[in-house]
Amino acid sequence: MSWGTKITILYIGFVILIVSMVYISVNNKSELVSKNYYEQELVYQDRIDAVNNEKKLAVTINYEIVDQFIVLGYLPNEIKKDFKGEVLFFRPSDSTKDLTIDLKFDQEGEQIISKDKLSKGVYKMCISWKNDKKTFYKEAIITI
């Protein structure tokens, strides 16, 4: 095989590699930023304050992944009349798989969320709540 043939094969291989990488890049869907990014950025100090409020708590909302369930726990005596909150399961790779659930703890202070509602993959679990006129925020990375 001559040098000319080897160089031609090398160039053709390089072109095939570049074309396939462009094809994969164009078809890859990545949604790392929310649709209302700028609105969220304007109130980011509120989020920082809520995170600091959560860190100061002696008792906070905890979570545990058990079999096919995500179990959120909070002490019932910590829940005040104005308690309100939600859990956002944020999927960075596909926003159509995001899920928001209101926090509603039972008498034992638990809320059970079925993993069937979520697709397999990595989620950022964002828990935000208001209790006793203060806001709180907590994040965790979970894998389903």
* Residue 68 and residue 9 in one domain: no
For residues 38 and 113, which has the higher predicted lDDT (pLDDT)? 113
CATH of the domain at 87: 2.60.40.10
* Residue 11 and residue 43 in one domain: no
CB atoms within 10 A of CB 54: 19
Residue 144 pLDDT: 83
* Residue 57 and residue 127 in one domain: yes
* Residue 104 and residue 136 in one domain: yes
Radius of gyration of the chain (CA): 23
Q: pLDDT band at 139, cuts 50/70/90? A: very high
Residue-wise pLDDT tens digits, 22-53 = 999 888 776 656 677 777 777 888 889 999 99
* Residue 118 and residue 138 in one domain: yes
Residue 138 pLDDT: 93
Decide if 142 contacts 69 (C-beta within 8 A): no
At residue 133, does pLDDT exceed 70?
yes
* Residue 66 and residue 124 in one domain: yes
129 to each of 42, 93, 111, how far by Cα in Å? 19, 25, 14
Residue-wise pLDDT tens digits, 49-108 = 999 998 988 888 889 888 888 999 887 777 777 889 999 998 887 778 888 999 988 888
Number of domains in the chain: 2
Q: Mean pLDDT, to the nearest integer, of 110-126?
A: 89
For residues 92 and 13, which has the higher predicted lDDT (pLDDT)? 13
Q: Distance between CA atoms of 141 and 126, rounded to whole angstroms?
A: 9
Which range marks the domain in which residue 91 is found? 37-143
Q: Is the dihedral of CA 55, 58, 61, 65 positive or negative?
A: positive
* Residue 57 and residue 13 in one domain: no
Q: Distance between CA atoms of 81 and 47, rounded to whole angstroms?
A: 22
* Residue 10 and residue 79 in one domain: no
Element (H, E) at 41: helix 37-42
* Residue 9 and residue 60 in one domain: no
Residue 125 pLDDT: 92
Decide if 115 contacts 70 (C-beta within 8 A): yes
* Residue 71 and residue 7 in one domain: no
